[in-house]
Structure 1
Amino acid sequence: MTLRTTLACALALSCTTVLADDGAIRRATALAQDAIIVDTHIDAPGILSETWADLGEAAPDREFDWPRARQGGLDIAFMSIYTSAREDSEGKARQSAHAQIDSIEALVHRHSDRFAILTSPADVERLRAGGRVLLPLGMENGAPLGDDLSQVQAFFDRGIRYITLAHSAANRLADSSYGAERQWNGLSPFGREVVAEMNRLGIMVDVSHISDAAAAQAIELSTVPVIASHSAFRHFTPGFERNISDELALAIARRGGVVQVPFGTAFVNAQAAADMQARFRARAEFDARNAELAAAGQPTQDVAAFEAAWDRDHPTPTTPLSAVLDQIDHGVRLLGVDHVGLGSDFDGVGGELAQGLRSVADFPNLVDGLLSRGHSEADVRKILGGNLLRVWREVEAGAARR
């Protein structure tokens, strides 16, 4: 196939080039529009809290908005309620999480004909009538829970339906895959309580970002299937613990769970993954040195200068859409087609995305790639969202049995 611009460009907010002929992209677009597409990780809320944009209209500086979601066939977009390790250490994580949920509620209130908050897969068909894009909420980093188990219920009541136990540093629940030192050697005692409470309420346990030991313990402890909401396969990025190992992926699948593949260059490109791991370690050393300087009453080094120098010395490698397709193919071969899905990380990786997957308008490009590699339409539907919805229903059923 050769690069060409399709008729879809005339209808798009910005022209998208795709690897397909006209007949193939028409087939892929039709399937994307007909299937239920679920993306388990879009970082719109954090950006909304910093700089408001009306995502019910065209928002060209973002990767998610309603017009492009409809163009791409996206039906269910998990909004990532992300809080940083710094917000956790400063005691601001809980407030930040509530503010981000408020921003999504405001968006839905502003455009009730275009968006609805989704809290159960049982409501999908009813709520998506009329072309709504449904917005379930996932908490990326369990830091807002603090050390208060009652906060799991409080955030469930606000709509949270998965919790990524930790992010870029250990918290009160679990160790992070990025941490050079491991505080808990897996889950903390409180983290174990949180997993049990999530099972009781019907919140999906998310093992993306956490250490291998923490992920293994969470998978074993959970009485229902778990997810990796946005984790590529470490098979392609050796030594990059942020991506999931084949062993852990198999453990997820054996318990009925699903691995959701992201589109970010840093996850699907080996050089970019190595650079990201190195960046976290270098930044940790930089911060530790600054803490020493501050304690000694000496001037600290400039953080912005550090970041600028890193970006200059580590340019983002160009990554083709085929890198994402390779990830999905590996997952299907390893786990079976019932255990692979999509968690793009749109609006969360600074635009560093595989070619042809630059916004929510581009799901037909992914569908075309899967079809061209021989995946059946029935299997593509599973990957696009059927698998995640099955897991979510099983998690709900597990809570109902308790």
Structure 2
Amino acid sequence: MRLRYAVLGLSLSMAATSASAATDAARKLAQDAIVVDTHIDAPSELLSHWDDLGVSAPTKEFDYPRAREGGLGVAFMSIYTSPEEDAAGTAWQTANTQIDAVEAMVGRHPDKFAILRSPGDVEKLRKGGRVLLTPGMENGAPIGDDLSKLAGFHARGVRYITLAHSANNRIADSSYAQKKKWGGLSPFGEQVVAEMNRLGIMVDVSHISDDAIRDVLRITDVPVIASHSGMRHFTPGFERNISDELALAVAKEGGVVQLVFGTGFVSAKAASDMQAYFAAEAALEEENAKLAAAGKPQKSKDEFEKAWKDAHPVPVVHIDAVLDQIDYAVKLLGVDHVGIGSDFDGVSGNLPVGLRSVADYPNLVEGLQKRGHSDADIRKILGGNLLRVWGEVEKAARR
């Protein structure tokens, strides 16, 4: 996710909750099912502070020992680039460096990790307790304005692309942008979606504006995903989370909404604070632009951010907040269209009590079991639905 959570008053907390408190039945199901988490920000974390994730890495939320404890089978590694890197022309370099980091994890520990390029290879590659890693690109900025780079990233293993992040880009409008540029997808963005369909790269509608999602659904020939979104029902007015209308439209086309764990997306207060922050930040930038044009001193961004953080402490939420989202999504969309995309290592430790690291999927399983979900349905939510969509996208590309 990478959204300056410290600035938003969401303080860092690396405390991990063990899944040992989960029932034996929950832990057994988590180990036996194929758990697919579509959004883990380990690569960008490795670039900021390297750790060997094949062994215990307590300052991170993803490492091999805890992934195995939690039953994680497939981890989509977020290849994140920022709007600032897009503007500077460095997004392509950053993306490739992060993919290198994922490949290095496998090279260092081939007995623990493997690159997964096709859902048909899951059973073969996970033998021996391997955790399978697939790059998922967060922000389409690394392709620049060169459509051919999509094929290059597909060759490197990228299997979904989040079209935009926290700012409008060449492809699409961002849900966070105060002023939209395109009114949805750009003309180039329409070509990007069609080319992703052709190559077999899943289109990810998390982060983009409502109108951009509508454009995607108009153009795509295959199901799409929301790799890490909350349900807007719980955070009214927060465009970053998906609306009931658009979630239903994604499901109608066979897609899946992967529900996020981060506090900022499951807490109405935290989501409201985030919206207010972006509005206040935009107002400050506009005011500073006017001051600069008039030759006057600009207001301090650091002072603004410190004051904002002090005035907006992060709320504490519990695992029930995520379970509520899953329950609601299942009732709205049907169990075949719901999955999980945690945002581990992407929200500065601001996660619900009970879902603090990749060790904690059994806690989620136990909560779903207690709420009456069958084990067969839980398997779908944990990963079966995502693997189905991925397989359909791959099959259509081969045709």
Distance 1:292 1:48, change over 3 A: farther
Unaligned 5+ runs, structure 2: 1-13
1:130–1:297 distance in 2 versus 1, CA, 3 Å: farther
Alignment correspondent of 2:249: 251
Question: Match for 2:172: what amino acid?
Answer: A
Equivalent in the alignment of 1:355 = 353
Shift in Å at residue 279 of structure 1? 1.2
Task: Indicate the residue corresponding to 1:5 in structure 2.
Answer: none
* Paired AA for residue 344 in structure 2: F
Match of 2:322 in 1: 324
Partner of 1:261: 259
TM-superposition CA deviations, 1:196-224 (whole Å, max 9, x none): 00000000000000000000110221100
Equivalent in the alignment of 1:158: 156
Once the 2 structures are TM-superposed, how far is the Cα of residue 296 of structure 1 from its aligned partner? 4.8
User: Given that residues 18 and 359 in structure 2 are in contact (C-alpha distance below 8 angstroms), is that contact kept between their aligned partners in structure 1?
Assistant: no
Greater length-normalized contact order (CA 8 Å, ≥ 6 residues apart): 2
Corresponding residue number in structure 2 for 1:216: 214
TM superposition shift of 1:117: 1.2
1:56-105, CA deviations, whole angstroms, 9 ceiling, x for partnerless residues?
A: 11111110010000000001010000111111111111111111111111
Structure 1 length-normalised TM: 0.93
CA distance in 2, matches of 1:296, 1:67: 57
Counterpart of 1:92, as a letter, is: T
Which residue is 1:173 aligned to?
171
Distance 1:243 1:270 in 2: 11
Match of 2:8 in 1: none
How far did residue 308 of structure 1 move?
2.2
Structure 1 regions of 5+ residues with no counterpart? 1-12
Question: Partner of 1:4 in structure 2?
Answer: none
Q: CA deviation at 1:167?
A: 0.6
What does 1:324-343 correspond to in 2, within 5 Å?
Answer: 324-343=322-341
Offset, 1:287: 3.0
How far the C-alpha of 1:290 sits from its partner, in A, is: 3.5
Partners of 1:285 and 1:192 in 2: how far apart? 31
| SS of residue in 2 equivalent to 1:230 | strand
- The letter of the residue matching 2:163 is L
Taking a change above 3 Å as real, the CA distance of residues 300 and 173 of structure 1, as seen in their structure-2 partners, is: same
Question: Which residue in 2 is equivalent to 1:205?
Answer: 203
Shift in Å at residue 118 of structure 1?
A: 0.9
SS of equivalent residue, structure 2 residue 229: coil
| 2:56 pairs with 1:55 | no
Code of the aligned partner of 1:59: A
1:81 has 2:79 as partner: yes
Give 2:105's aligned residue.
107
Q: CA deviation at 1:160?
A: 0.7
Q: Deviations over 1:341-381 (max 9, x none)?
A: 00000000111111100000000000000000000000000
**TM-aligned CA deviation for residue 286 of structure 1:** 2.4
Deviation at 1:288, TM superposition (A): 3.3
In 1: Cα distance, 2:164 partner to 2:365 partner: 31
Which residue of the other structure, out of 38, 41, 45, is the alignment partner of 1:40?
38
Aligned length: 386
Paired with 1:356 and 1:343, the residues of 2 have a C-alpha distance of 16
Q: Given the alignment, which residue of 235, 252, 256 partners 1:237? A: 235
User: Equivalent residue for 1:65?
Assistant: 63
Deviation, structure 1 residue 297? 4.8
Cα gap change, 1:14 to 1:286, in 2 (>3 Å): closer
TM-score relative to the length of structure 2? 0.94
Task: Quote the Cα distance in structure 2 between the aligned partners of 1:193 and 1:15.
Answer: 43
- Alpha-carbon RMSD: 1.6
Q: Is the 8 A contact 2:235 2:266 kept in 1?
A: yes
Letter in 2 for 1:16: T
The counterpart of 1:96, out of the listed 94, 97, 111, is 94
Alpha-carbon separation, structure 2, partners of 1:292 and 1:87: 25
Counterpart mapping for 1:128-143 below 5 A = 128-143=126-141
How far apart are residue 330 of structure 1 and its match?
0.6
Q: CA 1:150 to 1:123, structure 2 compared with 1: closer, same or farther past 3 Å?
A: same
Instruction: Assess if the C-alpha contact under 8 Å between 2:250 and 2:256 holds in 1.
Output: yes
When residues 51 and 288 of structure 1 are mapped into structure 2, their CA distance, relative to the original with a 3 A threshold, is farther
What code does the residue aligned with 2:340 have? L
Alignment of 1:176-187 (within 5 A): 176-187=174-185
Inter-partner Cα distance in structure 1 for 2:340 and 2:242: 14
CA contact (8 A) 2:160 2:202 kept: yes
Spell out, residue by residue over 1:215-248, the C-alpha distance to the aligned partner (whole angstroms, 9 max, x if none).
0110221100000000110011110000000000
Aligned match of 1:116 = 114
Partners of 2:306 and 2:196 lie apart in 1 by 40
Q: Residue 76 of structure 1 aligns to a residue in which SS? A: strand
Secondary structure (helix, strand or coil) at the match of 1:191 reads: helix
Offset of 1:15 from its aligned partner?
Answer: 7.0
Q: Percent identical across equivalent pairs?
A: 66
Distance 1:80 1:339, change over 3 A: same
Distance 2:75 2:81 in 1: 18
SS in structure 2 of the partner of residue 229 of structure 1: strand
User: What is the CA distance between 1:306 and its match in structure 2?
Assistant: 2.4
Partner residue, 1:380: 378
Quote how far apart the aligned CAs of 1:304 are. Answer: 3.1
Tell me, in whole angstroms, the C-alpha distance in 1 between the residues paired with 2:239 and 2:295.
Answer: 36
Take 1:46 and 1:285, find their aligned partners in 2: how far apart are those partners?
29
* Amino acid paired to 1:352: N
Correspondence for 1:304 among 302, 305, 318: 302
Instruction: State the shift of 1:307 in Å.
Output: 2.2
